[in-house]
Amino acid sequence: MTNPSRRYYDEPFLNPKVSISLAAGISESTRKSQLFDQVKLCLQAQRQISRRQNILSYAGQNYTEAALAAVRV
């Protein structure tokens, strides 16, 4: 199984050149479906990045507070 956090790098339809070659000879509804799937994956990746940034920011605040508390003692 692919690491979920890196899965979107492995999806061929996120590469425009591959998408065009995959889209050749398929129906319009299939193309729209692929585009919708691509947008969903992009939004999921964006949410994951935002979540990780929030976690890192919170961890950084805790680290700073702990360092300041250690200096005060």
Per-residue pLDDT, averaged over 28-33, amounts to: 83
**pTM for the structure as a whole:** 0.46
- Quote the Cα angle for 32-50-40, to 5°: 10
Sorting pLDDT into bands at 50, 70 and 90, what band is 17? low
What is the spatial distance between Cα 29 and Cα 53, in angstroms, rounded to a whole number?
36
* Predicted local distance difference test score (pLDDT) of residue 73: 66
CB 22, CB 34: distance < 8 Å: yes
Q: Above pLDDT 70, what percent of the chain?
A: 64
Written as one letter, the residue type at 12 is P
Sign (positive/negative) of CA torsion 58, 64, 70, 73?
negative
- Higher per-residue confidence, 71 vs 7: 71
What is the spatial distance between Cα 50 and Cα 48, in angstroms, rounded to a whole number?
5
- Which DSSP letter does residue 10 get? H
